[in-house]
């Protein structure tokens, strides 16, 4: 009989959340650097094929220690298509036009969507007035960034920014599905299968849509794929999904408002990305809105156990 997952100690939870935040905060710039010599779908596909292969090697050892059964096929497919195919195709594609830091800030609406799902769909966490105010503050920040920084790049950049928002929306759906239907499932098996299949599908899409585009496997490109596969995928997704089996989704999604600050700083410091007063103001509003919206005031309704997901 499989043992139910035990709640990890708070110190371990926050330490692992810090690791996830720092690594995912760096992945946005690493993606941008890899795209200098690789098309987006190819870069994303190689990342998750490598990550899936690594997960296949370590899965037998990790599953014995984690516990949990094989996830339902429908949940794995949703995780694959929503998280690894649609979401990352959009992230990589939009970073060909938008600065990596801004892409990270726009993606940080994810915890707001998780909170709205908890209120309207799963009804595990009803929002109160202060949290609704946070939603409005974050929305004002997003609109301000579109009207200033993104609009100043090009009209195409505005379209790309709007397309990007479909990424966190799709991941919100798969996360809610996992919370509801994958209770007791192995996060290791879920990630292994979804990553590997997602990588294959992304490479297939690359073959169809990116055929003939120039590709150079420079040292930077190879290092980008390996860093994103090992640290940005296997390590962090494993940590995140394992924690989400025992930690409420709203708490774990708090890393989402630390990641943009890290990404903005790294993009400006190492990627020569512009950081204007409007960038800081808009980002500050988004982060403040997310923090306010996720601040707890009443005990949550009990959530079902499951595995979940994130981006970076």
Q: Is the pLDDT of residue 299 over 50?
A: no
More confident residue, 245 or 237: 237
Quick one: what percent of the chain has pLDDT higher than 70?
Answer: 90
More confident residue, 120 or 91: 91
- Give the Cα-Cα-Cα angle 123, 195, 66 (nearest 5 degrees): 70
Query: Is 5 part of a structural domain of the chain?
Result: no
Per-residue pLDDT, 208: 97
DSSP-assigned beta bridge partners for residue 69: 185
pLDDT mean over 296-303: 46
pLDDT mean over 279-291: 94
Per-residue pLDDT, 3: 45
Quote the mean pLDDT of the chain. Answer: 89
The least confident of 81-85, 100-104, 240-244 is: 240-244
Q: Which domain holds residue 41?
A: 10-294
Helix (H) or strand (E) holding 159: helix 155-164
Query: Is 311 part of a structural domain of the chain?
Result: no
Query: Is 243 part of a structural domain of the chain?
Result: yes
* Chain centre distance of CA 190: 16
pLDDT band at 8 (very low <50, low <70, confident <90, very high): low
250: number of Cβ within 10 Å: 20
Per-residue pLDDT, 312: 65
Query: Is 215 part of a structural domain of the chain?
Result: yes
Per-residue pLDDT, 306: 39
> Is the distance from CB of 122 to CB of 179 less than 8 angstroms?
yes
More confident residue, 228 or 60: 228
For 15-53, what is each residue's pLDDT tens digit?
Answer: 999 999 999 999 999 999 999 999 999 999 999 999 999
For 66-76, what is each residue's pLDDT tens digit?
Answer: 778 899 999 99
How far is it, in rounded angstroms, from Cα 26 to Cα 225?
13
For 243-264, what is each residue's pLDDT tens digit?
Answer: 876 777 667 767 877 899 999 9
Structural domain total, the chain: 1
pLDDT band at 13 (very low <50, low <70, confident <90, very high): confident
pLDDT mean over 208-220: 96
Query: Is 95 part of a structural domain of the chain?
Result: yes
Query: Is 304 part of a structural domain of the chain?
Result: no
More confident residue, 112 or 40: 40
How far is it, in rounded angstroms, from Cα 175 to Cα 154?
33
Per-residue pLDDT, 6: 59
Query: Is 303 part of a structural domain of the chain?
Result: no
How far is it, in rounded angstroms, from Cα 86 to Cα 299?
34
More confident residue, 14 or 100: 100
Query: Is 173 part of a structural domain of the chain?
Result: yes
pLDDT band at 154 (very low <50, low <70, confident <90, very high): very high
Per-residue pLDDT, 249: 63
- Give the Cα-Cα-Cα angle 134, 138, 141 (nearest 5 degrees): 145
The least confident of 14-18, 58-62, 308-312 is: 308-312
More confident residue, 183 or 47: 47
């Amino acid at each position: 009989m499989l043992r139910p997952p035990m709640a990890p100690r708070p110190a371990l939870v926050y330490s692992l959340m810090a690791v996830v935040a720092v690594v995912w905060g760096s992945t946005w710039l690493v993606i941008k650097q890899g795209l200098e010599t690789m098309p987006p779908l190819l870069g994303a596909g190689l990342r998750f094929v490598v990550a899936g292969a690594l997960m296949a090697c370590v899965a037998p050892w990790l599953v014995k220690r984690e516990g949990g059964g094989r996830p339902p096929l429908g949940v794995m497919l949703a995780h694959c298509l929503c998280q690894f195919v649609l979401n990352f195709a959009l992230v990589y594609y939009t970073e060909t036009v938008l600065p990596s830091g801004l892409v990270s800030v726009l993606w940080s609406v994810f915890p707001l969507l998780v909170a709205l799902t908890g209120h309207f769909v799963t009804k595990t966490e009803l929002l109160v007035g202060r949290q609704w105010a946070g939603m409005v503050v974050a929305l004002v920040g997003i609109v301000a960034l579109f009207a200033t920084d993104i609009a100043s790049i090009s009209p195409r950049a505005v379209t790309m920014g709007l397309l990007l928002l479909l990424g966190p929306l799709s991941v919100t759906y798969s996360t809610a599905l996992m919370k509801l239907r994958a209770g007791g499932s192995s996060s290791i098996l879920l990630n292994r299968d979804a990553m590997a299949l997602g990588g294959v599908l992304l490479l297939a899409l690359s073959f169809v849509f990116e055929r003939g585009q120039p590709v150079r496997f420079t040292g930077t490109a190879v290092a980008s794929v390996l860093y994103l596969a090992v640290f940005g995928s296997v390590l962090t997704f494993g940590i995140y999904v394992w924690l989400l089996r025992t930690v409420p989704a709203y708490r774990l999604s708090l890393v989402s408002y630390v990641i943009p600050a890290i990404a903005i700083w790294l993009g400006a410091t190492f990627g020569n990305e512009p950081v204007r007063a409007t960038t800081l103001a808009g980002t500050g509003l988004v982060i403040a809105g997310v923090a306010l919206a996720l601040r707890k005031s009443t005990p949550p309704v009990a959530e079902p156990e499951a595995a979940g997901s994130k981006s970076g």
